[in-house]
């Protein structure tokens, strides 16, 4: 399936999402652009925000580009998301930039953007693997433990099957494996057996809150009153399964990143160990194609965490695609404290 330009009539909405670690991402993706323009000989270069979301990172990148006269009109952004509602919000937020050609919007998944990235001189890519606050707070998505919306969990509700449908069809062994591998849930066997028993006797809960309450009731009393909701790992695992999140990340890393031009920068932000492990291995095993720009992943500082608690688990890895002439390692060039 090919990626398609946005063409939708969904009602416009405002965003409540707060972007994470904006400063190091903007620095990483923009500081090398003047040199890349000179080296490439291209009239226009492109940056890819393949998880556009609320557009916070893209807005900050645009602001940085506008401050450099030599870049104005010569760097564009391809804004991509599989969530059409996010794209509709971006269509309103960036209406003037879309009209001027600074931004182009596309609806699609990671696995669908290889040809798009190959077709342009792309010298930067951002991927934020977390869910946005807009999605979490929307009860229609079924991502919140407190939401009375349907038990869905899909990023793109026009594709695939909902979480509830999957739970109704999956074998007990499959449910147990997903909970254990994707959620690292230690009570995976107990929960999988209870899910199968529940759907046989009473049917699955219709809402996300109903399902979260059901899962909470299965947990030992000591786990029900901690800082983390007892259904967190279960929700994470099912969400990853329903959206094929790890498969999509693998395809981005293996198929899309190699299409970037020499000297391109990448900023990849993960929110749990499974994602970060994929990113770390891909950047390390890419036959020297990418060079890390920091020795360790960057994490949000205490001030950002206090302002935005969802940044607590974020890990940001920055890297640069080697030029045709293999260069020396550039570890430490990006300052995590900017």
Q: Global pTM?
A: 0.84
**Per-residue confidence of the chain (338 residues) as pLDDT tens digits?**
344 444 333 343 454 568 899 999 999 999 999 999 999 888 999 999 999 988 999 999 999 999 988 898 899 999 999 888 889 989 999 999 999 999 999 999 999 999 999 999 999 999 999 765 555 555 555 456 666 788 988 888 888 899 999 999 999 999 999 999 999 999 999 999 999 999 999 999 999 899 999 999 998 877 766 677 888 899 999 999 999 999 999 999 999 999 999 999 999 999 989 999 999 998 886 567 899 999 899 999 999 999 988 888 899 999 999 876 444 444 445 544 44
CATH topology for 4-134+246-321 is: Rossmann fold (3.40.50)
Interatomic CA distance for residues 324 and 338, integer angstroms: 30
For residues 79 and 105, the answer to whether their CB atoms sit within 8 Å is yes
Write the burial class of residue 57 (CB in 10 Å: 0-12 exposed, 13-18 middle, 19+ buried).
buried
Give yes or no for a contact between 146 and 28, defined as CB atoms under 8 angstroms apart. Answer: no
Listed as own residue / partner, the contacts of 191-194 with beta carbons closer than 8 Å and 24 or more positions apart are 191/215, 191/218, 191/234, 194/218
What residues contact residue 20 under an 8 Å CB cut-off, 6+ apart?
Answer: 128, 130, 269, 300, 304, 308, 310, 311, 314, 316
CATH (residue range 139-243): 1.10.150.170
Cβ proximity of 111 and 156 under 8 Å: no
For the chain, give every residue range classified as CATH 1.10.150.170: 139-243
From-to residues of CATH 3.40.50.150 in the chain: 4-134+246-321
């Amino acid at each position: 399936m090919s990626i398609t330009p946005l063409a939708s009539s969904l009602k416009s909405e405002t965003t409540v999402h707060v972007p994470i670690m904006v400063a190091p991402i903007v620095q990483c993706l923009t500081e090398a652009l003047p040199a890349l323009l000179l080296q490439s000989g291209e009239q226009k270069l492109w940056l890819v925000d393949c998880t556009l979301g609320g557009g916070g990172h893209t807005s900050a990148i645009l602001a940085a580009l506008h401050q450099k006269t030599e870049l104005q009109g010569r760097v564009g952004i391809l804004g991509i998301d599989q969530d059409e509602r996010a794209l509709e919000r971006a269509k309103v937020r960036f209406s003037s930039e879309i009209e001027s050609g600074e931004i182009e919007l596309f609806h699609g998944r990671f696995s669908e953007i290889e040809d798009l990235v190959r077709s342009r001189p792309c010298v930067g890519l951002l991927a934020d693997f977390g869910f946005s606050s807009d999605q979490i707070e929307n009860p229609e998505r079924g991502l919140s433990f407190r939401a009375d919306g349907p038990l869905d969990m899909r990023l793109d509700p026009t594709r695939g099957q909902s979480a509830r449908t999957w739970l109704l069809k999956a074998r007990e062994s499959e449910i147990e494996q997903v909970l254990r591998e994707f959620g690292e849930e230690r009570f995976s066997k107990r929960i999988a057996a209870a899910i199968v028993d529940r759907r046989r006797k009473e049917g699955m809960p219709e809402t996300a809150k109903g399902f979260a309450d059901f899962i909470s009731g299965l947990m030992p009393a000591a786990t029900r009153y901690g800082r983390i909701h007892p259904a967190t790992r279960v929700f994470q695992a099912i969400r990853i399964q329903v959206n094929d999140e790890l498969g999509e990340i693998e395809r981005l890393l293996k198929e899309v990143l190699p299409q970037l031009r020499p000297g391109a920068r990448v900023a990849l932000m993960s929110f749990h160990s499974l994602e970060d492990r994929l990113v770390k291995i891909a950047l390390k095993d890419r036959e020297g194609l990418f060079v890390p720009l920091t020795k360790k992943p960057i994490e949000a500082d205490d001030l950002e965490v206090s302002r935005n608690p969802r940044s607590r688990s974020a890990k940001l890895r920055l890297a640069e695609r080697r030029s045709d002439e293999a260069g020396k390692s550039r570890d430490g060039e990006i300052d995590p404290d900017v």
